[in-house]
Amino acid sequence: MAKVLKTKDKILNAAERLFADQGFELTSLRQITGAADVNLASVNYHFGSKKALIQAVMERYHAQFMPELDERLKTLEGQGINSTEEVLSCFVGPLLSLQRINPLGTEIYLSLLGHAYSEIQGHLRRFTMQNFGHVVQRFFHCIQQANPHLSVATLFWRLHFTLGATVFAQVSGQALSEIAQADFGESATAEDIVGKLIPYLAAGIGAAEVSASARL
Amino acid sequence: MAKVLKTKDKILNAAERLFADQGFELTSLRQITGAADVNLASVNYHFGSKKALIQAVMERYHAQFMPELDERLKTLEGQGINSTEEVLSCFVGPLLSLQRINPLGTEIYLSLLGHAYSEIQGHLRRFTMQNFGHVVQRFFHCIQQANPHLSVATLFWRLHFTLGATVFAQVSGQALSEIAQADFGESATAEDIVGKLIPYLAAGIGAAEVSASARL
DNA sequence: CGCCGATTAAAACAGGCGTTTAATTTAAAC
DNA sequence: GTTTAAATTAAACGCCTGTTTTAATCGGCG
């Protein structure tokens, strides 16, 4: 069973793939319906509009990822937090479990986030904070506990640098992996990249604070 | 003198602004010529095509930035390299001197890079390596000297994470600065952000290498 | 079977895109 | 002042976009 997908799911699967590769605005409904092998009008029939389709694609991933992340952060908080690595590692499981939606779910989700972030900056951030603001706050709180020596402002900036490095790494992860393969025979899956990323991010977040007078 | 700009420069100035904000494909020639207050056809008259306009916009910044960076890296190599911060700091001057092209030149250049990177990944990277590959190699060599304990593969990945964090920070820098202003009364210019970024990036690049067995 | 709501299908809609054409205006050289 | 090339302009080109409309088809139920 579950061999033949309904039209709605065929659209979602084709759309998330193309959105992740090209961004939302650069992907046309004709591309999506062509790849999904369904009629053009079926997008508007099942979802109402392109914008609603985008939200449906994001929702499927958010709904899987956010509660799982929240769970792990909550558990860690209960145990006491000692290092940034611990906190960042809470992301690994939830990110990898996105592969239950799609074998490439991890890359796709982070790519979607990256495109959403840069295409409709304020809009998405507002949406995310409204719907999952408590998860973001919990994460921030965990990072604060792991880095009590750092100011709130410093952590704010460093967490956004972290988001940038993560999203960017995944968006161009495949291309980079091909280069790495050619240059020194080392390819990397999305999971591999996350493993390389975490020590880097943790060190960056926890770096000693520089005084304003210590100019470069 | 130099009070009234020629059509060609009016186009370039309007285009770089819109390209940086929205990306290349999402910016239309009608937007550009409307903002520049020139006729639509003048883009094709002066530049030949939209693609050629994009290259002209990038070229103006590359030509200013790359030689200056190369100069500083060369000087540093001559003095001997001790820390990652030293190497990263070589970017600050050349980035800030882009403000001679445009007061917002630093943000614009990094935004352009980010959009170019994610819109035409392979294409731009190939172009950059062909034209400025020696600068990239020199930079990589500097980073290697500053981090002799790290493998080439590790540095490869970490430098791309670094590029991601930098580009992302600048692309969404203004929006983040507004949030920071609202949340804890601290705004930030592009220069401020670079100052916050460098200790973060240097710590990430120089983080202790983790063995493959040390799973998260 | 005949019905009937749900779904799919093909076609057309208005609007935006990059580009091209042809006519006009500008400005410098003689 | 006339000539000539450069620059600007308005209009149209063909193509692609998201959306809507209208008709055809499918599936379960009485």
Structural domain including B146 reads 58-205
For residue B187, pLDDT beyond 80: no
* pLDDT (0 to 100) of residue B42: 96
Lowest mean per-residue pLDDT among A17-21, A42-46, A131-135, B18-22: A131-135
User: For A178, which residue in chain B has the nearest alpha carbon?
Assistant: B122
Q: Please name the amino acid found at residue B174.
A: Q
Please classify residue A97 by burial: count the beta carbons closer than 10 Å to its beta carbon, then call 0-12 exposed, 13-18 middle and 19+ buried.
middle
Interface of A with B in 171-190 (CB under 8 A): 171-172, 175-176, 180, 183-184, 186, 188
CA of B7 to C1' of D1 (A): 29
Average pLDDT over residues B108-112: 83
Query: Whole-number Å distance, CA B33 to C1' C18?
Result: 13
Length in residues, chain A: 216
Q: What is the pLDDT of residues A87-99, one digit of tens each?
A: 778 878 888 899 8
Mean pLDDT of B82-95: 79
Sign for the CA dihedral angle at A189, B140, B24, A166 comes to positive
Rounding to the nearest 10 degrees, give the CA dihedral for residues B126, B130, B132, B134.
Answer: 120
Query: Is B145 inside a domain boundary?
Result: yes
Convert the pLDDT of each residue in B34-56 to its tens digit.
Answer: 999 999 999 999 999 999 999 99
Say if B169 falls within a structural domain: yes
Q: Is residue A105 part of a domain?
A: yes
Question: How is A109-169 classified by DSSP, letter by letter?
Answer: HHHHHHHHHHHSHHHHHHHHHHHHHHHHHHHHHHHHHH-TTS-HHHHHHHHHHHHHHHHHH
Q: Which two tokens stand for residue A109?
A: 């989700």
For position A125, what pLDDT does the model report? 59
Pick the more confident residue, B74 or A37.
Answer: A37
- The pLDDT value recorded for residue A33 is 97
Q: In this structure, what CATH number is given to the domain that contains residue B73? A: 1.10.357.10
* In-domain check, residue A107: yes
Q: Please indicate, yes or no, if residue B28 is contained in any of the structural domains.
A: no
B182 falls within a domain: yes
Would you say residue A120 lies in a domain? Answer: yes
Whether the beta carbon of B26 falls within 7 A of nucleic chain D: the reply is no
Put simply, whether B200 touches A (Cβ < 8 Å) is yes
State the total domains in chain A: 1
**Cα dihedral A12, A18, A23, A24 sign:** negative
**Domain for residue B122, yes or no?**
yes
